A and B are shown apart, each in its own frame.
Chain A
């Protein structure tokens, strides 16, 4: 009886998973492992080995790592400050920081394009102040900036959520036992916030690794990330097979990175993705 009702309740989710996770995955697998003539081939996978594609993949990994690190460095102190604000409205402050998420992501990136352009908002300002112009549009730096701006809320939120859950008296207990602020942070606060750190890292690293919108708009056509290459296969060359093959390779990298991150978590009380 109980089993049956559980089964009934879970049916919609089962259908959802079938329709929106399993079938697409199977389709990507199918396209990725077959050629235009329909026969099995590893040709699409091997495509990653071309110099251009390897370069794009390597650049993607580096930029995503960098933007994840920057997000962590910016978000952690911010989350700590938000945690320590005694204001009743610290929730509201958190909301202010994640509000940009409510705007269309494309819009936000285009806004950055307008700011960073050669004759954009930033350079106009710099000129007014008689400072040298900053030309970072269409460079990896602009892409990293876009990634950090776009994905920062995904780092702030899980960090803040684990940090507010740490009982003030646990921190007091550490001080009470003789720990100074630094020791308390390294031995108590940071380890206890690990679940948040890990989900933050995954939530920033994965979309950074696969993005093509940010690199498209802020990188011009000068900087190609692996996401752009895959997009080109689908949109410009209309080749679903090669696009899917490269996607499969990228998915393997995502899996590896998540497994690596998960390893650092001892598994105790992890609220992360793993």
Chain B
């Protein structure tokens, strides 16, 4: 990946009627990067995207494009295109006219436009739909037309606001592949909004997790999943066991009154921390071999694995395992040191609220 900042948001703040929706947001997007904005509903993802697209102007801060300040530039003069959350097709035009809209403004030749329409429809698997009207298409088809309408313009950056939200699982997966292929083939930079964490993990080079207008963490999918920086991220990305604990000393953490070895250092001695343990990282062993012992309270078959709840040390542990233990049976719990993720407790009230997690939506 070229380490070249294409878009930079510097100190972006946006308020609606006095309430702050985005607070001092700093972010850069590299050329040909697939960046995903991930967060619960209402956390400011669309607003961030609209500020990049030019449909909303920030109350404070700057938007830079290739180093140039474009904060005041209207959308039609920005080198990027948007796929809107609800398609926003032109209902009085045919599919072909919809796709041709941007090309006609750029005064491309008739033949060029015709070829582009054909190419784009093929790309989104809707060949032969040229003369249909948008209203006669299903939601998923309309969304794909919206994507086609944007990419024919060969923008440097494509902004997508939950473009696959209306599609069924199979089509969604196909479109995920298509989008990644488009990104690689056309060299377009993607800024992608979703609240589907699985989609974010699958597609992104970089994920930015947001909550209530704040960035919670920016990093690669692996970083975000394996080393969440706080309880909110841990809870939002995948399922997890989040517990209050005390860091006894380097590489030793006291969880529910029992000492676990871990690999983290530098938290000081007897410091309160949050601990995240992924359900698939918990090993169920014989009671006498476990660090903690408890009994199974529920068991669900999930296909790839069993999902169990284990009451141990006064905490309901969520466990994913290919081995099953029947409800009521006594089990021991073990966790490998590197599977214990230690996080600082949130410092301010604000953060504590925002760390409360996805239940908010």
- Residue numbers in A under 8 Å from B91 (CB-CB): 170, 192, 269
Interface code B27-66, partner A: CB below 8 Å = 1, 0 otherwise?
Answer: 0000000000000000000000000011100000000000
B306 at the interface (CB under 8 A from A): no
In the assembled complex, the Cα of A175 lies from the Cα of B54 at a distance in Å of 10
A177-B84 contact in complex given A188-B90, A268-B92, A269-B91, C-beta closer than 8 Å:
no
Task: Collect the chain A residues with CB atoms within 8 Å of residue B88's CB.
Answer: 167, 169-170, 172-173
Compute how far the CA of A192 lies from the CA of B92 in the bound complex, rounded to whole angstroms. 7
A178 at the interface (CB under 8 A from B): yes
Asked whether B153 lies within 8 Å of A178 as measured between CB atoms, the reply is yes
CB distance from A200 to the nearest CB of B (A): 18
Determine the distance from Cα of A29 to Cα of B115 in the docked complex, in whole angstroms.
60
Q: Pick the contact of B105 from A167, A183, A191, A192 — CB < 8 Å?
A: A183
Q: B53 to A176, Cβ gap below 8 A? A: yes
Q: Are A174 and B101 in contact (CB under 8 A)?
A: yes
| Set of chain B residues within 8 Å of A179, measured between Cβ atoms | 76, 101, 105
Q: What chain B residues lie within 8 Å of A176 (beta carbons)? A: 53, 55, 75-76, 81-82, 150
- Asked if B102 is an interface residue, CB under 8 A from chain A, the answer is yes
CB-CB nearest in chain B for A191: B92
Which of B54, B74, B86 contacts A169 (CB under 8 A)? B86
In the bound complex, what is the Cα–Cα distance between A172 and B84 (angstroms)? Answer: 9
For A178, give its contact among B86, B105, B135 (CB under 8 Å): B105
Query: Does B302 have its Cβ within 8 Å of any Cβ on chain A?
Result: no
Chain A interface residue bracket vs B: 20 to 34
CA distance A188 to B54 in the complex (A): 19
Q: Output the nearest chain A residue to B100 by Cβ-Cβ distance.
A: A177
Per-residue CB proximity of B71-110 to A under 8 Å, as 1/0?
Answer: 0001110000110111011111000000001100110000
B325, CB-defined interface residue at 8 Å: no
CA distance A180 to B74 in the complex (A): 9
A142-197 with Cβ < 8 A to chain B: 167, 169-170, 172-180, 183, 187-188, 191-192, 194
Report yes or no: A170 in contact with B82, Cβ–Cβ below 8 A.
no
Asked if B81 contacts A177 (CB within 8 A), the reply is: yes
B123 in the interface (beta carbon within 8 A):
no
Which chain A residues lie closer than 8 Å to B55 at the CB level?
Answer: 172, 175-176
A52 to chain B, nearest CB (A): 46
Most buried by A among B54, B81, B90, B106: B90
Do residues B102 and A178 form an inter-chain contact, with CB atoms below 8 A?
yes
User: If A167-B86, A172-B82, A172-B84 touch, does A180 touch B76 (CB 8 Å cutoff)?
Assistant: yes
Q: Determine the residue in chain A with the shortest Cβ distance to B86.
A: A169
**How distant is B151 from chain A, measured CB to nearest CB, in Å?**
11
- B256 beta carbon closer than 8 Å to chain A: no
Total B residues in contact with A, Cβ cutoff 8 Å = 25
Indicate whether A172 sits within 8 Å of B90 (C-beta atoms), given known contacts A177-B105, A178-B105, A268-B133: no
Select the residue from A170, A173, A174, A183 with max chain B CB neighbours within 10 A: A173
A208-264 with Cβ < 8 A to chain B: none
User: Whole-angstrom distance between the alpha carbons of A187 and B85 in the complex?
Assistant: 22
Residues in chain B near residue A167, CB distance under 8 A: 86, 88
Bound CA span A167–B106, Å: 24
Write the chain A residue with the least CB distance to B55: A172
- CB-CB < 8 A to A269: which residues of B? 91-92, 135
Chain A CB within 8 A of B320 CB: no
Report Cα–Cα, A172/B74, bound state, in Å.
11
Complex formed: what's the CA distance from A183 to B89 in Å? 16
CA distance A268 to B91 in the complex (A): 9
Which B residues are in CB contact (< 8 Å) with A180?
76
Contact B84 A173, beta carbon cutoff 8 Å? yes
Within the assembled complex, what's the spacing in Å between the Cα atoms of A179 and B153?
A: 13
Cα–Cα distance between A176 and B52 once the two chains are bound (Å)? 11
Max chain B CB contacts within 10 Å: which of A172, A177, A180? A177
Contact B82 A178, beta carbon cutoff 8 Å: no
Q: Within the complex, what minimum Cβ distance (angstroms) separates A230 from chain B? A: 40
Contact between A172 and B75 (Cβ–Cβ < 8 Å)? yes
| Complex Cα spacing A152 to B88, Å | 32
Q: How far is the CA of A105 from the CA of B71 in the complex (A)?
A: 52
- Quote the shortest CB–CB distance from A195 to chain B (angstroms): 10
Residues of A within 8 A of B150 (CB): 176-177
**How far does the alpha carbon of A178 sit from the alpha carbon of B149 in the complex, in Å?**
12
* Residue among B54, B55, B76, B82 with the highest chain A CB neighbour number at 10 A: B76
Contacts of B89 in A (CB 8 A): 170, 173
CB distance from B68 to the nearest CB of A (A): 18
How long is the Cα–Cα vector from A177 to B104 in the complex, in angstroms?
Answer: 10
Chain A residue with Cβ nearest B53: A176
19 A-B pairs, CB-CB below 8 angstroms?
Answer: A169-B88, A170-B88, A170-B90, A172-B53, A172-B55, A172-B88, A173-B84, A175-B55, A175-B75, A176-B53, A176-B81, A177-B76, A177-B149, A177-B153, A178-B102, A191-B92, A192-B91, A269-B91, A269-B92
A-to-B contact residues, CB < 8 Å: 167, 169-170, 172-180, 183, 187-188, 191-192, 194, 266, 268-269
10 nearest CB pairs, A to B: A177-B102, A169-B88, A173-B88, A178-B105, A175-B75, A169-B84, A175-B76, A176-B82, A170-B88, A191-B92
Q: With contacts A169-B85, A169-B86, A178-B105 known, what are 7 further pairs, Cβ within 8 A?
A: A170-B89, A175-B74, A176-B53, A179-B105, A180-B76, A187-B101, A269-B92
